Amino acid sequence: MESPFKSDILKGKVVLLTGGGSGIGFGLSTQFGKHGASIAIMGRRKSVLDSAVSALQSLGIPAVGFQGDVRKQEDAKRVVESTIQHFGKLDILVNAAAGNFLVSPEDLSPNGFRTVLDIDSVGTFTMCHEALKYLKKGGPGRDSSTGGLILNISATLHYTAYWYQIHVSAAKAAVDAVTRNLALEWGSDYDIRVNGIAPGPIGDTTGMSKLSPDEISGNSEEREPLYKIGEKWDIAMAALYLASDAGKYVNGTTLVVDGGLWLSRPRR
Ligand code: HXC
């Protein structure tokens, strides 16, 4: 679907996306690039990075991939610095890297729980921490009038509770807390806006194939009147709103983009 936004709303911006080579993250990389941004992608798998970067470049988007794991602070630091070396500055950090698997609490080892928190929550904080000096107002490559922006990809499952997702619920609750607290402190001190997006089920993603809601809850369409599968495009359009000047007064919010699904209850 064509974008309703002008193609230059992110002109001249440099965006670093963790997990930007696949799924929702790649949808964000593509649309940010199509709207004028230069794209740096961080991911663990070289083959995924290589094919994402070639796909972006074939659309005429300046793009580069850096291998790294958000669980390692030295990787986070190196990738942020490589982005600066490559593009000269950093305007937008998108934390889209996430880990997930379905497991009951009985079968989940404490290390499995910790692994997902390490990727989603600690990884998000680590990336923000390493990117701060480049995102703050007056930081290297920036002018002194505006700070950069952070966008954290979250979820809605922790608003209530979700079968076999105790680790992810805890991890995404922490991500939302990071979003709000950084919005308060870094918005105030450095003019950095920090927001999140909580996607619903999005087609053609690893999350969707791994979590296939029918596996968990039977026929979701009957149980949940608002059940609809979204597209990566839907998440990218919300991200463009938050990342562009259209969202300049939005700070500390996590925008739910799920067609209203999390509100659903079975019809009586
Ligand atoms: C139970 C599991 C498990 C599983 C791993 N563990 N997979 N436990 N069931 N299926 C446990 C292991 O036993 C181990 O604990 C610990 O987790 C670490 O496992 P490793 O395999 O060493 O971890 P690693 O190789 O680092 O892999 C990380 C991963 C992996 C999270 C486990 O699945 C991953 O990175 N996947 C790719 C990313 C991904 O899935 N993205 C989709 C995100 S979708 P022990 O105790 O044995 O040492 C998404 C949507 C959210 O985020 C919203 C949903 C609505």
Ligand 1 site, residue 109, Cβ cutoff 6 A: yes
Q: Determine if the pTM surpasses 0.90.
A: yes
Ligand 1 site, residue 202, Cβ cutoff 6 A: no
Residue 24 CB neighbours (<10 A): 29
Distance CA 41, CA 61 (A): 12
Residue 267's pLDDT is 77
Distance 231 CA to ligand 1 centre (A): 24
Contact between residue 54 and residue 109 where contact means Cβ atoms under 8 Å apart: no
Pairing of strands 92-95, 63-67: unpaired
Contact between residue 129 and residue 183 where contact means Cβ atoms under 8 Å apart: no
Amino acid letter, 21: G
Ligand 1 site-directed mutation target among 100, 116, 119, most atoms within 8 Å of CB: 100
Domains of the chain, CATH where assigned: 14-256 (3.40.50.720)
Which residue minimizes the CA distance to atom 37 of ligand 1? 99
Residue 251's pLDDT is 98
CA dihedral 49, 32, 153, 183 (to 10 degrees): 130
CA dist list (Å): 250 to 116, 165, 183, 191: 28, 29, 10, 12
Residue 219's pLDDT is 62
Ligand 1 site-directed mutation target among 28, 101, 152, most atoms within 8 Å of CB: 101
Residue 221's pLDDT is 62
Name the token pair of 185. Answer: 């402190």
Per residue in 148-173, pLDDT (tens digit) is 999 999 999 999 999 999 999 999 99
Ligand 1 site, residue 207, Cβ cutoff 6 A: yes
Distance CA 202, CA 98 (A): 15
Distance CA 240, CA 263 (A): 25
Per-residue pLDDT of the chain (268 residues; tens, 9 = 90+): 899 999 999 999 999 999 999 999 999 999 999 999 999 999 999 999 999 999 999 999 999 999 999 999 999 999 999 999 999 999 999 999 999 999 999 999 999 999 999 999 999 999 999 999 999 999 998 878 899 999 999 999 999 999 999 999 999 999 999 999 999 999 999 999 999 999 999 998 988 887 765 655 556 665 788 889 999 999 999 999 999 999 999 999 999 999 999 999 877 7
Helix%, strand%, coil% for the chain, nearest 5: 50, 15, 35
Nearest one of 133, 167, 19 to 39, comparing CA atoms: 19
Q: What is the CA radius of gyration of the chain?
A: 18
Which residue minimizes the CA distance to atom 19 of ligand 1? 112
Contact between residue 227 and residue 258 where contact means Cβ atoms under 8 Å apart: no
Which residue minimizes the CA distance to atom 12 of ligand 1? 112
**Which helix (H) or strand (E) element contains residue 63?**
strand 63-67
ipTM for the whole predicted complex goes beyond 0.85: yes
Residue 143's pLDDT is 79
Residue 81's pLDDT is 98
Q: Is 43 helix (H, G, I), strand (E, B) or coil?
A: strand
Ligand 1 site, residue 166, Cβ cutoff 6 A: no
Ligand 1 site, residue 100, Cβ cutoff 6 A: yes
Distance CA 243, CA 114 (A): 31
Name the token pair of 228. Answer: 């609809």
Ligand 1 site, residue 101, Cβ cutoff 6 A: yes
Which residue minimizes the CA distance to atom 48 of ligand 1? 111
Distance 99 CA to ligand 1 centre (A): 6
